[in-house]
Amino acid sequence: DAKTTQPTSMDCAEGRAANLPCNHSTISGNEYVYWYRQIHSQGPQYIIHGLKNNETNEMASLIITEDRKSSTLILPHATLRDTAVYYCIVNFGNEKLTFGTGTRLTIIP
Amino acid sequence: EAGVAQSPRYKIIEKRQSVAFWCNPISGHATLYWYQQILGQGPKLLIQFQNNGVVDDSQLPKDRFSAERLKGVDSTLKIQPAKLEDSAVYLCASMLGREGGDTQYFGPGTRLTVL
Identify the band that residue B2 occupies on the pLDDT scale cut at 50, 70 and 90: confident
Residues in chain B: 115
pLDDT of A93: 81
In chain A, residues with a C-beta closer than 8 Å to the C-beta of B43 are 44, 97, 99
Instruction: Assign B68 to helix, strand or coil.
Output: strand
pLDDT of B98: 66
Lowest mean pLDDT among A17-31, A88-102, B9-23, B33-47: A88-102
pLDDT in tens, chain A (109 residues): 668 999 999 999 999 999 999 999 999 988 999 999 999 889 999 999 999 989 999 999 999 999 999 999 999 999 999 999 999 999 988 788 999 999 999 999 9
| Phi–psi pair at B61, nearest 5 degrees | -70, 90
Q: Is the CB of B9 inside 8 Å of chain A's CB atoms? A: no
Under 8 Å CB-to-CB from A58, ≥6 apart: which residues? none
Contact between chains at B103 and A102 (C-beta distance less than 8 A): no
- Among A36, A96, A100, the residue with its CB nearest the CB of B48 is A96
In chain B, residues with a C-beta closer than 8 Å to the C-beta of A29 are none
pLDDT of B86: 97
3-state secondary structure A60-103: CEEEECCCCCEEEEEECCCCHHHCEEEEEEEECCCCCCCCCCCE
Nearest residue on chain A to B97, alpha-carbon basis? A94
Look at residue B48 and tell me whether its pLDDT is greater than 90: yes
Residue B93, class by beta-carbon neighbours within 10 Å (0-12 exposed, 13-18 middle, 19+ buried)?
buried
What's the gap between Cα B93 and its chain centre?
A: 7
Look at residue B88 and tell me whether its pLDDT is greater than 80: yes
pLDDT of B76: 97
pLDDT of A66: 95
CB distance B49 to B75 below 8 Å: yes
Rounded-to-integer distance, Cα A70 and Cα B111, Å: 34
Contact between chains at A99 and B42 (C-beta distance less than 8 A): yes
Look at residue B31 and tell me whether its pLDDT is greater than 90: yes
